[in-house]
Structure formats: structure tokens, C-alpha cells
């Protein structure tokens, strides 16, 4: 890892202890209750919660990677990712706890009621010492195959729970005592706590609130940056596994593991990204005074960001996001193929201004990956035919003299439609389609039609890694997870010899959420 860091046996035991705790879910409603200008007091309580909750999730990732199937856990890149999660766990659990003075306690709990902590900082996550051997003696609910979301195709999101599957609540582990699940739950540091807690917005908070919020935000920013290259590094790990086992495809066990691993990662990244963004939006003492003077109790802020709560846009315009994705995909395509202009992409939206609550970063990722595939298929399917037609029309012309910019490719269509339940986006291309026997393979990891997949240097700059035009075979599987994460889906119908239609279904979250305060 370049820092001399190592996973000690003491730290590993602590990680196993935390991996035995139940995760505490966070609803989308809690996420947006902070509002566009969050109260520093609410951020303070949320910071305490996240410092207790994230280690549980990180510990589960370490445990999952240690138990990765079919010797995937032995691959160097898999071990590297596991150590990243272990180091992040260590940093969070070693953060100093805040001291809540009587004066601050009065501000946080004006009615004398405590949700997330007591007046003496009773939220200390290290006081659950009585459970240090639980991980060694009892099965872990999260790893039970009977309730494995990936196997049952009902994906857990590692925290941001939108749809609850109540029939899972009564399933217990084989050999587990009837009360052990509730006992694990009650011993979790975040049991009974919530991510969002209401706090006054018309007061100036003391310095220790801002100091602790900054401490947690800086720690999360460092951790999030460390994990930027997790997807690419795990891809490298699967490549290592394929090379060692001399196989072209991953088996169903690894496919299931990766689905679960990446879905869980989306949830962790969502929680960290949301908390960092909320910290960036919280009002400073000076800003509070000025806003209070100019606007009364309503805080000011960037008008363009007023519809954002953290990374969630409560009024996300699908057409605008699609335009951004189109421009980005065309730019990557032009750079890759040396084109002056990529094939045309027509945006068709019969219903103008389709807006709903969503995470724009997720939406642009899904659209970009799908459009990138359509552009590549269109160019590589039609280039030989177009060159042959040009040579037939000009017998004296040589193939090497044909400039790709002189070829006219068929356009790609992006159609957006809104229904009562879903917003659907259809991406249609004439890129030659996919053989019916190969359609199931496109959802498997590391399946790609590129002859040579990109490789990563041993110590490359994680933050500068740029997604290639094609090669890792992760675009569609990861995009489908992003869609399913918020209750949607990604489907594909292909006509071999003609083209492919991809359907992105987006759940209209606002229709099932309570009105925002």
C-alpha cells in the first residue's frame, strides 16, 4: 500500500467483532430531511452516528473479502482492497470522541431528550466490550446464503434502504438461537439511533461542533479517496483469478459475490458522499449571522443548489442529465477513435421537464456507460461496411487512405418517458446487436469483446484513473446495480445483425416518500 500499513491480529479481531453487529438502515427520507442548508447541530449528531455505523459496514466488507469464494480472496489485488477497508475501519474507530458539555447538550436537546447520545458522550463505540467473541462463536446474519440478496436478486444497499422486505426479518441462521439476532442488534453501537436528528437552525453553534464536524468530514474525505479505485482494483483481482485458473468466465459463486460486494459498496459510497456534501453545505457562524439578518430564519445559499440536499437532487431533470451524459460519451468516443465528431445521438423527450428525486451522479453514470457501449458498437459494426461501400464507389481508392471522419454513421436515439411508477429511458442503436447466446454474458463481470483489457500499474494514482472507452467489462453490470439500488432496473433487448435497445427504469422515489419538510 506504500505506507507500511499492515493488518495486525489485534485489529483483525476488532474487525470481526464489528462484523457481528447488525447494520442500521438509513432511509432516503432521513437523507433529505437535513434540507439544502443543514443545521450544524444536526450534522454533529449525524457525524457521531456515521462514525459508529460506518465501521460496522467496513468490517463486513473486510470479512466478505476474507471469505471471497474460489480462492478469489488469495489474489493480490483482492488483498489490497481488503486492506484498504481495514485501514479505513481503523482510522474511523480511532477518531477522538467529542465531549458534549452541558451547554452544548442544551442546544442539541432543548427538550432534554437524547436520540443519539447522552450528555457525557455515552455514545462511546468502544464500550461494547462484552461482545468481543461473538464473531467467533455465532454465524453472521449478513453472510447467510438463505437471505443473501444477490442470490435472491433482492439487493441490499448497505444502508440506504428504500424498499423493505419484511419476509426476511423472520429468517434465522441455522444453529443460531432464537434470541441471538436481537441480541446482536441490541449490542450494535447504532441500535435505536437515527442518522438525522432535528436541531434548531436559528442559533450560532459553538466552536466544538464545527471542529468535530470538520474532523469527521476530513476523515471521510480521505477514506473515500482511498477507495476511489476499488472497482478497478477488484477487476484486476478477477483478472488475476482468471489467469491463475486459466478460464475466460467467472463462475456463478464469484458473480454472486461481486454483485453483493459492489451493491454494498454503492451504499457505503452514497453514505460517505452524502455526509461530506452535507458538511460542505452547513452554514458557518458568519453565514448564519448574515443570513439571519438578511433573510430572517431562512438561510441563504446558492440558488442553483437549492434543490440539492447533499448529493440528492430533489428536483432532478432527467433530460439535462441525459444531455450531460451524451456530451461526455461523445467526447470519450471522439478522443478514442480520433473523430472530429462522434455519431449523432438524438434526445427525444415527448414530456418536457421530467423531474424527480434522484442522485444525479448515479444517473449520469448509468447513461454514460450505456451510451459509450452504443457508440462503440455503432462505429465498429458499420466501419467495415462503410469503407467497403466507399471502395466500391471509388476503385482507385486504397483502404488505408480512407479517413474515418469521412464516414457517416447511423444515429443513436435516447428516448425519455414518464409513467405513474417509473421514468424510463430507452437507448436504441444500430450497432449490430448481440448474439442471443451471449446476452446473459454481458451481465457477468470481466466479460468484454475487447481483445486486451486495460491493466493497472502496481502503484498508480488512484484519483487520476479514468474509465476507458471499453475493456473492463464492468459497465453494464455495475450500471444495473446502480439502477436496482434505488428500486429500478436495467434491461437489454438485442436484434443480432441490426442493433440493441437498452431500457433503464428509474423508480419515482418521490411518489413513495413523505413530503419534504
Q: Are residues 335 and 263 in the same domain?
A: no
Q: Indicate whether 169 belongs to any domain.
A: no
Do 71 and 159 belong together in one domain?
Answer: yes
Q: What is the pLDDT of residue 14?
A: 94
pLDDT of residue 113: 57
State which of 246, 270, 296 marks the end of a domain. 296
Grid cell in block for residue 505? 427504469
Whether residues 317 and 289 share a domain: the answer is no
Compute mean pLDDT per 10 residues along the chain, 517 residues long, and list them.
77 94 83 88 94 95 95 95 96 93 86 48 34 30 35 34 37 44 62 86 87 96 94 90 87 90 90 93 61 45 66 92 94 92 94 87 93 95 92 86 91 95 95 92 73 48 43 79 89 96 86 32
CATH assignment at residue 435: 3.30.565.10
In a domain, 343, yes or no: yes
Kindly state whether residue 4 falls inside one of the protein's structural domains: no
User: Which residue spans within 376-421 are E strands per DSSP?
Assistant: 412-418
On whether residue 3 sits in a domain, the answer given is no
365 flagged as catalytic: yes
Q: Which of 242, 266, 296 is the last residue of a domain?
A: 296
Is 307 domain-assigned?
no
* Domain match, 289 and 319 both: no
Q: Global pTM?
A: 0.77
Whether the CB-CB separation of 469 and 333 falls below 8 Å is answered with yes
Q: Identify the CA nearest to 348 among candidates 419, 421, 426.
A: 426
318 in the same domain as 285: no
- Whether residues 344 and 250 share a domain: the answer is no
* pLDDT for the residue numbered 112: 65
Any domain includes 302: no
What's the CATH code of the domain at 47? Answer: 1.20.140.20
For residues 348 and 355, what is the distance between their CA atoms, to the nearest angstrom? 15
Given the residues 369, 430, 505, 507, the one annotated as active site:
369
Segment holding 295, helix H or strand E:
helix 285-295
- DSSP structure class, residue 125: G
pLDDT recorded at residue 141? 29
- Residue 430 CA, chain-centre distance (Å), reads 31
Element (DSSP H or E) covering residue 59: helix 40-66
Co-location of 231 and 362 in the same domain? no
Query: Do residues 273 and 323 share a domain?
Result: no
The pLDDT assigned to 230 comes to 92
Task: Give the residue from 262, 296, 330 where a domain finishes.
Answer: 296
Q: Which of 97, 287, 305, 365 is catalytic?
A: 365
Q: Catalytic residue among 80, 193, 275, 372, which?
A: 372
Do 238 and 332 share a structural domain?
A: no
Residue 278 lies in a domain: yes
Total domains in the fold of the chain: 2
Q: In what order do the strands lie in the sheet with 412-418?
A: 345-348, 412-418, 422-429, 499-507, 489-495
The verdict on residue 170 lying in a domain is no
Whether residues 363 and 391 share a domain: the answer is: yes
341 and 221 in a common domain: no
Query: What domain range includes position 504?
Result: 312-512
Determine which one of 373, 382, 505, 507 is catalytic: 373
- CA 41, 270, 503 angle in degrees (round to 5)? 140
Same domain, 137 and 283: yes
Active site residue 373: yes
Amino acid at each position: 500500500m506504500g505506507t507500511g500499513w499492515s493488518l495486525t491480529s489485534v485489529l483483525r479481531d476488532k474487525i470481526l467483532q464489528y462484523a457481528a453487529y447488525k447494520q442500521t438502515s438509513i432511509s432516503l427520507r432521513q437523507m433529505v430531511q437535513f434540507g439544502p442548508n443543514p443545521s450544524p447541530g444536526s450534522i454533529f449528531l449525524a457525524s457521531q452516528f456515521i462514525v459508529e455505523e460506518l465501521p460496522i459496514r467496513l468490517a463486513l466488507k473486510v470479512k466478505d473479502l476474507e471469505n471471497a469464494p474460489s480462492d478469489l480472496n488469495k489474489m493480490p489485488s483482492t488483498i489490497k482492497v481488503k486492506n484498504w477497508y481495514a485501514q479505513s475501519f481503523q482510522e474511523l474507530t480511532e477518531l477522538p470522541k467529542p465531549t458534549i458539555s452541558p451547554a452544548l447538550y442544551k442546544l442539541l436537546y432543548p427538550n432534554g431528550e437524547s436520540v443519539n447520545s447522552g450528555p457525557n458522550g455515552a455514545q462511546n463505540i468502544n464500550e461494547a466490550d462484552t461482545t468481543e467473541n461473538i464473531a467467533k462463536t455465532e454465524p453472521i446474519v449478513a453472510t447467510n446464503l438463505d437471505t443473501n440478496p444477490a442470490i435472491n436478486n433482492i439487493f441490499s444497499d448497505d444502508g440506504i434502504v428504500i424498499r423493505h422486505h419484511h419476509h426476511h426479518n423472520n429468517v434465522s441462521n441455522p444453529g443460531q438461537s432464537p434470541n441471538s439476532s436481537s441480541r446482536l442488534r441490541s449490542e450494535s453501537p447504532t441500535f435505536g439511533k437515527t442518522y438525522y436528528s432535528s436541531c434548531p437552525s436559528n442559533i450560532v453553534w459553538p466552536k466544538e461542533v464545527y471542529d468535530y464536524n470538520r474532523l469527521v468530514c476530513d476523515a471521510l474525505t480521505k477514506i473515500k479517496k482511498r477507495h476511489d479505485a476499488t472497482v478497478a482494483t477488484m477487476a484486476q483481482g478477477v483478472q488475476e483469478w482468471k489467469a491463475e485458473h486459466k478460464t475466460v468466465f467467472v463462475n456463478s459463486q464469484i458473480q454472486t459475490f461481486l454483485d453483493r460486494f459492489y451493491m454494498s459498496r454503492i451504499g457505503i459510497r452514497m453514505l460517505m458522499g452524502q455526509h461530506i456534501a452535507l458538511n460542505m453545505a452547513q452554514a458557518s457562524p458568519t453565514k448564519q449571522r448574515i443570513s439571519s439578518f438578511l433573510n430572517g430564519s431562512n438561510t441563504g445559499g446558492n440558488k442553483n443548489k437549492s434543490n440539492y440536499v447533499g448529493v440528492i437532487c430533489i428536483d432532478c431533470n432527467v433530460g439535462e442529465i441525459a444531455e450531460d451524459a451524451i456530451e461526455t460519451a461523445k467526447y470519450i468516443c471522439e478522443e478514442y477513435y480520433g473523430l472530429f465528431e462522434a455519431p449523432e445521438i438524438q434526445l427525444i423527450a415527448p414530456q418536457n421537464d421530467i423531474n424527480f428525486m434522484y442522485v444525479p451522479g448515479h444517473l449520469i453514470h448509468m447513461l454514460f456507460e450505456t451510451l459509450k457501449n452504443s457508440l462503440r458498437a455503432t462505429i465498429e459494426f458499420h466501419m467495415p461496411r462503410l469503407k467497403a461501400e466507399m471502395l466500391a464507389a471509388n476503385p482507385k481508392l486504397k483502404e488505408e487512405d480512407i479517413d474515418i471522419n469521412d464516414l457517416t454513421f447511423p444515429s443513436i436515439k435516447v428516448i425519455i418517458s414518464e409513467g405513474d411508477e417509473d421514468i424510463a429511458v430507452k437507448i436504441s442503436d444500430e450497432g449490430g446487436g448481440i448474439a442471443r447466446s451471449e446476452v446473459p454474458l454481458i451481465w457477468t463481470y470481466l466479460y468484454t469483446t475487447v481483445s486486451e483489457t486495460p491493466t493497472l500499474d502496481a502503484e498508480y494514482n488512484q484519483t487520476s484513473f479514468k474509465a476507458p472507452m471499453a475493456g473492463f467489462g464492468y459497465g453494464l453490470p455495475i450500471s444495473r446495480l446502480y439502477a436496482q439500488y434505488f428500486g429500478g432496473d436495467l434491461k437489454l433487448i438485442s436484434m443480432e445483425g441490426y442493433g440493441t435497445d437498452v431500457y433503464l427504469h428509474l423508480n419515482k422515489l418521490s411518489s413513495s416518500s413523505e413530503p419534504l419538510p
